[in-house]
Structure 1
Amino acid sequence: MIENVYQHFRKEEAPFIDMATDWIKQCEDQYTPVLTPFLDPRQFYILETLVGKSNEIHLFSYGGYEAAERKRAFVCPAYFEPRQEDFEISLYEIHYPTKFATLSHGKILGTLLSSGLKRTYFGDIISDGESWQFFVDETMGNYVTSQVNKIGHISVRIEEKMYTGLLVPKDSWTIINDTVSSMRVDTLLSSVFNVSRQRAKQMIESGKVKVNWTQMDRSDFLLDLLDIVSVRGYGRLQIQEIEGKSKKDKWKLKLGVLYK
């Protein structure tokens, strides 16, 4: 375990670090595998860092399909190697009148969370441009189908699907290399989406920006490796690599961008 681990991460990440540390300790003390809820890329990175290069504990992850952003993880002893079904992830499709209505990621997520379940029970929400599917902790699948029959004003029916019925997601990350003066969220938004810093601050202050699926109201918030920033009306960006500083003391970054 890393000494003084808190200093390596943000202050607000301390509760998750405590939770991840408990998973690791439980695995060590009981010598049994521990299945986590769905984690975002930043959380998985923290967990991966805490597990480190231990020969005694292994880490596996799965989110329902190869390119999943949100994944469940197994913290487990060396003897255990999970199968796909061990991750307890179910796939559901949303049936709705496609000729007369449209759905969006934000509307679907808002409806799922209004059912009373936390974000940690849900994996990715994917679309091929018309149809929509989502991943959920299999223990909550029946609850979701019983609770959700409308998304906004649109009547919907939620149906469990076999993995052979998985959609091919339409969205794919565009990889760009960028150089920025600061890791502040407003600086990144200004550079990636070609808006002024003032406009970026306005978007943050008006509640249009989320970092790792949590609304962000601080324009001076410092982003870090694998953070995902969502901007309503513009798209998303992810910090995939931090390549260091340039000779002019600017950050060199590799970014994934999903343009709206």
Structure 2
Amino acid sequence: MEIYQHFREEERPFIDQVLSWQSDVEMRFERKESDFLNPREQQIVRAIMGNDPNLKWELYGGPNDPERKRAIIAPEYEEIADQDFSVVLLEATYPGKFVALEHRDVLGAFMSLGIRREKLGDLIVQDGVIQIVVASEISDYIRMNFTGVKKANVTFQEKPLPSLMKSKEVWQTKDSTLSSLRLDVLVKEIYGVSRKKAGMYVEAGHVKVNFKTVENPSFLLETGDLLSVRGKGRSRLDQINGMTKKEKYRVTTSKLN
């Protein structure tokens, strides 16, 4: 199928999933809502759905254009509104003067409950407040069972979605010239380590691309790919801006500070 050639081999199962949603909605005339999708998965949904005249589709995960969003696919005669999405904002406070919490601490505590990452939207930890956007079907379970992070006791309460805070995290952008789009080359450039050390990080399973561990240093990156290196934060390949006369890649990358 033509759509496959635009994406990686390992992305075929998700492509098939989206095609299945599309087919089910067309045959049954019933809308379908996905779990939370990462940006790469959202890109695949956009590519497949395109301007399908028989269906409507929207992405939403809360206000402020969040990173993770759910998709709704519906028959073309239906309207899709933000309130149709099964998303809930939960909030808890913690004593910030006595306990230092980071995004990864809260995410780790969440995952320890045995809930799939796909049920969690954006997560913000700042100024003594934890906010998580979750699938509404697990909201009650989280409020009953998510009671602590590190040494902090927390009690989550449901809040109106417009109460979602804007993250204070800042993406710092940089233009670079690279010999290739290999993963080890990008890690070297973005995180300021040697090519050898970058390769070691990858081979040790410390690097994720689009939230999946990649252990091949020669893995080729594409526009929009999200990277994370354990203990060093997240980054992104924003744009590939063509080639130099010496056949090197001009790229724009961002790192989360």
Both proteins in one fold, TM over 0.5: yes
**Deviations for 1:126-175, whole angstroms, at most 9, x for unmatched residues?**
13354221110011111111221122343222222222432221112223
Q: 1:61 aligns with which of 35, 59, 62?
A: 59
How many percent identity over aligned positions? 35
Q: 1:160 aligns with which of 158, 161, 174?
A: 158
CA distance in 2, matches of 1:16, 1:155: 37
State the AA in 1 paired with 2:92: I
In structure 2, what is the equivalent of residue 199 of structure 1? 197
CA distance in 2, matches of 1:225, 1:33: 31
CA distance in 1, matches of 2:238, 2:176: 11
Deviating more after overlay: 191-200 vs 175-184:
175-184
Contact 2:94 2:128 in 1 (8 A): no
Which TM-score applies when normalising by structure 2? 0.92
Q: 1:70 aligns with which of 68, 71, 77?
A: 68
CA distance in 1, matches of 2:100, 2:47: 40
**Deviations for 1:46-102, whole angstroms, at most 9, x for unmatched residues?**
111111232222331111122311111122232223221111111112322222111
Deviating more after overlay: 244-253 vs 111-120:
244-253
CA distance in 2, matches of 1:62, 1:148: 24
Any idea what SS the aligned residue of 2:68 has?
coil
In structure 2, what is the equivalent of residue 176 of structure 1? 174
* 1:252 to 1:79, Cα distance in 2 relative to 1, 3 A: farther
Deviating more after overlay: 115-124 vs 71-80:
71-80
Q: Report the alpha carbon displacement of residue 234 of structure 1 after superposing the two structures with TM.
A: 2.4
* Runs of 4+ off more than 4 Å: none
In structure 1, what is the equivalent of residue 234 of structure 2? 236
Q: 1:211 aligns with which of 185, 204, 209?
A: 209
Within-5 A mapping of 1:6-21? 6-21=4-19
In structure 1, what is the equivalent of residue 122 of structure 2? 124
| Structure 2 gap segments, 5+ residues each | none
State the AA in 1 paired with 2:26: E
Any idea what SS the aligned residue of 2:37 has?
coil
Which TM-score applies when normalising by structure 1? 0.91
